[in-house]
Homo-oligomer: A and B are copies of this chain.
Amino acid sequence: MSTPTRIGLIGTGRIGQVHARSIAAIDDAQLTWVCDPFEQSATSLSARYGGQVTTIPDHVFAAGDVDAVIIASPTPTHVSLIAAALDAGIPTLCEKPIDLDLAKVDSLRARAASSSVPFALGFNRRFDPHFAGVHRRVAAGEIGRLEQLTITSRDPAPQAKEYVAVSGGIFRDMTIHDLDMARFFVPDIVEVTARGANQFDSSAAELGDYDAVQLVLRGAGDELISITNSRHSAYGYDQRLEAFGERGLLQVGNVGPDVVRAFTGETVEAVGPYYNFFLERYVDAYRLELIEFLRAVRGEASTSPGFEDGRAALVLADAAEQSARTGASVSVDLRA
């Protein structure tokens, strides 16, 4: 067995814990540092998964026994932590988004572009085996030229008003995953059209945010992409995708823990509910995302999305916001 990659984890909230579990499940990875300003939380995670505890991120970057860093702290800390990681020359996997403000993202852009240190952004859905399977089959030509992509993404229930208030709005907080999924299949998006609605969540309305949106993206090859979002879903987390091409369609349906089907006098073929939310639905994706990032850390070829992918998704989210507000399609140039 090779020497395990030593990982420092910054942020021990919900996602930080997911990453800690993934590290524990990967043979050649080892958690060596755990950092959180809330020391109790870091200590608790460390007790379970190992690693030295600190409340100061710089301790992690300077520790010397850290081959890679995972940034899972709140969004406002990302830019300075990424900068610190670039300075320290430590490979980094950072949770999305880089920042909610494109200007701040762009302040890092040149440094990120000129750096040879691996940097991966946590668009975990690219690593979901089902979405990745469709991507692989489309790339292999199974459905010929890709013409239409249909993405459905509904959260089980609205976030708390406090969360929504600092989330950057539905496009930057929720749709951004679907915008990246669109770019996974059609990297060069050239036009964004978006419409938003207020259907059920008075908190969102009070904050000037939408609770349901519908987008149409256009790719450079005249591909049309539909994204349907809602902040609630009575039947659980709704995560589906259809890739339509000249020779056929590949479809990812929802996934649940249960394959038992029930047949009664009222309904037939009924299965139990789907996974409730992303921690259950994407548990494999988080682990596979980490494995792919570790390839880059070891100097191997890696397909992890990077800084420019994080920036592109934000550009598209900003464009969607603008389109929804003005009623006009917005042209974008992600290559600029």
Interface set of A (CB-CB < 8 Å, partner B)? 1, 25, 47-48, 129-130, 133-134, 137, 142-143, 145, 147-148, 150, 152, 154, 191, 193, 195, 197-200, 212-214, 216, 218, 222-226, 228, 230, 232-236, 238, 244-274, 327-329
Contact = CB atoms under 8 A, between A and B. Distances in A.
Given A148-B230, A263-B248, A213 B222 contact: no
Q: What are the 5 closest A-B residue pairs judged by CB atoms, nearest first?
A: A270-B270, A267-B270, A235-B263, A248-B264, A327-B329
A152 to B, nearest CB: 7
Contacts of A130: 258-260
A198 B226 contact: no
Contact of A263 (B218, B224, B251): B251
Contact of A212 (B129, B224, B263, B274): B224
A265 B148 CA distance: 17
Contact of A265 (B133, B222, B248, B327): B248
Contact of A195 (B218, B230, B273): B218
18 contacts: A133-B258, A147-B212, A148-B228, A195-B216, A212-B224, A226-B226, A233-B249, A235-B248, A235-B249, A235-B263, A238-B249, A248-B265, A250-B261, A251-B260, A267-B267, A267-B272, A269-B271, A328-B328
A25 B48 CA distance: 13
Contacts of A248: 234-235, 262-265
Nearest to A327: B329
Nearest to A266: B273
Contact of A327 (B48, B129, B261, B328): B328
A251 B261 contact: yes
B261 A246 contact: no
Contacts of A218: 195, 197
A262 B267 contact: yes
A274 B265 contact: no
A147 B213 CA distance: 11
A208 to B, nearest CB: 15
A329 B195 contact: yes
A55 B188 CA distance: 57
Contact of A213 (B199, B212, B224, B250): B224
B268 A271 contact: yes
B249 A232 contact: no
Contact of A262 (B25, B142, B224): B142
Contacts of A328: 327-329
B226 A249 contact: no
A248 B234 CA distance: 5
B200 A246 contact: yes
Contact of A257 (B129, B225, B329): B129
A258 B134 CA distance: 10
A312 B248 CA distance: 33
A129 to B, nearest CB: 7
A152 B249 CA distance: 13
Nearest to A147: B199
A235 B271 contact: no
